[in-house]
Amino acid sequence: MTLRLLKGFALLVGERRITLSASAQQLLAFLALQDRPRTRTYVARSLWPEATTTRANANLRSSLWRALRNEPELILASSQEMALASFIDVDIHASVARAHQLLDRTCSCEDILNRRTREDLSCDLLPEWSDNEWVLLEKEQYHQLRLYALEAMADRLTGAGRYGEAVAAGLAAVQAEPLRESAHRALIDAHLAAGNRAAAQDQYQRCRRVLLDELGLEPTESLRRALAPAPNAR
């Protein structure tokens, strides 16, 4: 059984998609993003923060019943705590683990410098969900993590001489956050390492335009220096 939270919500048994109510989806997604079992009170207050305690608890019971109606083993629930069943494969867990590996300079990461990693890190968490505060916090946390990871991936691929893949990772980072200068820098460095100064200069100009148009800012001096000719260059 697989729970997909990247790109959007989907619960699959093999290739068969399970249909769930919106409240059941919300409960499963919330539990999937927790690092340990949570008390019923904590879950109810997090999912329905504006409701009274009585109403929040009632909503939780209803959502739990809806989630377990057709798949009774989805959630491990006691009278006090609940957690997502451990046998369910959650896509974001693997993506987060790979992101932390990429950011760990002691890890070689050769086995994850691939298209699958780049594609997963190019996807936001539950992009169409924005109603609840818990969703927004989780989305922003993962968004920032994946940006740093994509930049690190681009840097690692550049260092390995895999320039085309490095450019792809850099482009994914820029697309995810066009105002992020460090993403542009990772892409520019990949172009420069490949010997493509014209492409690097074009990317710098795109960065400069977007920063000026959106923020009224020039790129930093360090980014300008990256494109400066070497002292002995002719």
The predicted structure's pLDDT at residue 229:
61
Is residue 60 pLDDT above 70, yes or no?
A: yes
Query: What is the three-class DSSP state of 12?
Result: strand
Contact status, residue 80 vs residue 44, Cβ threshold 8 Å: no
The continuous run of DSSP H or E covering 11 comes out as strand 10-13
The predicted structure's pLDDT at residue 232:
54
Please give the structure tokens belonging to residue 157.
Answer: 């691929």
Please give the structure tokens belonging to residue 190.
Answer: 């990949």
- Sketch out the chain's domains with CATH numbers: 2-87 (1.10.10.10), 92-226 (1.25.40.10)
Return d(Cα 164, Cα 20) in angstroms, integer: 41
Mean pLDDT (the chain, rounded): 93
- The DSSP secondary structure of 39-66, one letter per residue, reads EHHHHHHHH-TTS-HHHHHHHHHHHHHH
The predicted structure's pLDDT at residue 226:
84
Return d(Cα 34, Cα 29) in angstroms, integer: 9
Nearest residue to 166 via CA among 193, 146, 142, 147:
193
- 99-151: pLDDT as tens digits: 999 999 999 999 999 999 999 999 999 998 977 889 999 999 999 999 999 99
Return d(Cα 179, Cα 213) in angstroms, integer: 10
Is residue 27 pLDDT above 70, yes or no?
A: yes
pTM: 0.90
Residues in the chain: 234
Is residue 70 pLDDT above 80, yes or no?
A: no
Is residue 234 pLDDT above 50, yes or no?
A: no
Q: How many CB atoms lie within 10 A of CB 108?
A: 11
Contact status, residue 154 vs residue 166, Cβ threshold 8 Å: yes
More confident residue, 207 or 234: 207
Please give the structure tokens belonging to residue 191.
Answer: 């172009």
Nearest residue to 192 via CA among 153, 138, 230, 146:
230
Return d(Cα 218, Cα 154) in angstroms, integer: 24
Contact status, residue 121 vs residue 146, Cβ threshold 8 Å: yes
Contact status, residue 14 vs residue 101, Cβ threshold 8 Å: no
- 147-178: pLDDT as tens digits: 999 999 999 999 999 999 999 999 999 999 99
The predicted structure's pLDDT at residue 233:
47
- 188-215: pLDDT as tens digits: 999 999 999 999 999 999 999 999 999 9
Return d(Cα 105, Cα 111) in angstroms, integer: 15
